[in-house]
Amino acid sequence: MKFGIDRLLADPVLRKPLEGRRVALVAHPASVTEDLTHSLDALIRAGFGVTSAFGPQHGLKGDKQDNMVETADETDPRYGIPVFSLYGEVRRPTDAMMANADVFLFDLQDLGCRIYTFVTTLLYLLEEAARHGKSVWVLDRPNPAGRPVEGTLLVPGQESFVGAAPMPMRHGLTLGEMGHWFVRHFGLDVDYRVIGVEGWQPDGPGHGWPPERVWINPSPNAANVNMARAYAGTVMLEGTTLSEGRGTTRPLEVLFGAPDIDAGAVLAEMEELAPQWLAGCALRECWFEPTFHKHAGKLCNALMIHAEGPFYAHDAFRPWRLQALAFKAIRRLQPDYDLWRDFPYEYELERLAIDVINGGPALRAWVDDPAAEPGDLDHMAGTDERHWREEIAPVLLYP
């Protein structure tokens, strides 16, 4: 199997259109070749005319821990080229940034989730490339969550940096495929191409992530494939007072953590409400004490998700529903629990973070409505999921 960067470096035919052109690279720590050389180093050593680099959220180095922790522009100390931040003073490339290159190589490992901001960064780059007459090439990488689609569609008017367009939480696409959908959906007149992954079967061995490839964190809290599979659910914890495990060694792999919740009781309530939504993984009661972030220094009771090994059933695991069910169980057990966190989230200052994350208020309304049943949410999401599968069928690149 060869990822996009490996194919570009190895194939003279693919490389030829870049001869004599100024090249920019959008990258992060997981932008590496099959021998773990960073893509920036590999491209420059191979003689590409790299004139600048761009870092998304968390930075080119991946050193920024949390949301809304910005990265400054800098000059690369080794190569002397500018490194522009797309998560600092701006999140959309400026005219001056776009003037530094003719072709923009986009080489980011994604998690297959709408809220993971690299998706929005790709859209912004495509829009600016269309405006400036530039080319964008995605050096494609696998979607570690595979093809499953899950969640309600973002409601028009609810767009944000964590919600680029009307897509579900778990979109089932690679970034190369997503770029094709953006071009179609927004009618972008841009020179766009994808250097695809050779030999990738989305639902083959590894169920999205090829077992023979090393996992490298694309962001500080994306530590393994288990996290990548669970993330479309656990990311919703960012909009709550519950801990998502930041400040521990396994962030975003828990359904919740809190010092004032009985995890065992919540699990029993979940099993009573919608046992079918617990399929495809194992849930294990555990304890942790975060060293920073929510509930720092306090002992938290939690449920750990194991969507891995013999416990993982690819077609049955539905993390968005699983997380929603945990919220519903907590609300039923403790109706007055202060669940929704009201704070500035990804530069959205008016809407509740949970609504920004979900692309609308529907999930929160379902959790808070005592009369709402699992079937209500299932019907709402199922309709959107069927629509999305039909919508993306023309852009799928992999069998």
pLDDT tens figures, 275-297? 999 999 999 999 999 999 999 99
> In the prediction, which pLDDT does 325 show?
98
Residue 346 has pLDDT above 80, yes or no: yes
pLDDT tens figures, 95-106? 999 999 999 999
pLDDT tens figures, 158-214? 999 999 999 999 999 999 999 999 999 999 999 999 999 999 999 899 999 999 999
Element (H, E) at 195: strand 191-195
Confidence label for 65 from pLDDT (cuts 50, 70 and 90): low
In this structure, is residue 390 part of a structural domain?
no
Beta-sheet pairing, 103-106 with 191-195 = unpaired
Q: List the one residue out of 335, 315, 331 whose CA is nearest residue 323.
A: 331
> In the prediction, which pLDDT does 62 show?
72
> In the prediction, which pLDDT does 71 show?
85
Length of the chain: 399
Confidence label for 347 from pLDDT (cuts 50, 70 and 90): confident
What CATH number corresponds to the domain at position 303?
A: 3.90.1150.140
For residue 196, what are the CA distances in angstroms to 50, 120, 176, 399?
Answer: 21, 20, 7, 12
* Domain co-membership, 196 together with 241: no
What CATH number corresponds to the domain at position 75?
A: 3.40.50.12170
Tell me, rounded to whole angstroms, the distance of Cα 276 from its chain centroid.
25
Residue 369 has pLDDT above 90, yes or no: yes
In this structure, is residue 208 part of a structural domain?
yes
* Domain co-membership, 230 together with 359: yes
> In the prediction, which pLDDT does 66 show?
65
Residue 69 has pLDDT above 90, yes or no: no
> In the prediction, which pLDDT does 68 show?
63
Output the CA torsion sign for 294, 296, 298, 300.
positive
For residues 143-163, give the mean pLDDT: 97
> In the prediction, which pLDDT does 399 show?
83
Residue type, 257: G
* Domain co-membership, 162 together with 249: no
For residue 139, what are the CA distances in angstroms to 31, 33, 125, 319, 328?
Answer: 10, 11, 14, 28, 40
Q: How far apart are CA 375 and CA 363, in angstroms?
A: 13
Confidence label for 221 from pLDDT (cuts 50, 70 and 90): very high
> In the prediction, which pLDDT does 245 show?
97
Domain that holds residue 37: 4-219
In this structure, is residue 265 part of a structural domain?
yes
Q: How far apart are CA 48 and CA 143, in angstroms?
A: 27
Residue type, 38: H
**Last residue within a domain, chosen from 219, 252, 275:** 219
For residues 367-371, give the mean pLDDT: 98
**pLDDT > 90: what percent of the chain?**
94
For residues 9-18, give the mean pLDDT: 98
In this structure, is residue 34 part of a structural domain?
yes
* Domain co-membership, 73 together with 19: yes
For the chain, the 3-state helix, strand and coil shares in percent, each to the nearest 5, are 35, 15, 50
* Domain co-membership, 157 together with 97: yes
* Domain co-membership, 201 together with 294: no
DSSP secondary structure string for all residues of 314-330: TTT--HHHHHHHHHHHH
**Last residue within a domain, chosen from 170, 195, 219:** 219
* Domain co-membership, 66 together with 172: yes
Q: Is the overall model pTM greater than 0.85, yes or no?
A: yes
Strand partners for 213: none
> In the prediction, which pLDDT does 365 show?
98
* Domain co-membership, 102 together with 150: yes
**How many domains, in total, are found in the chain?**
2
Residue 63 has pLDDT above 90, yes or no: no
Confidence label for 70 from pLDDT (cuts 50, 70 and 90): confident
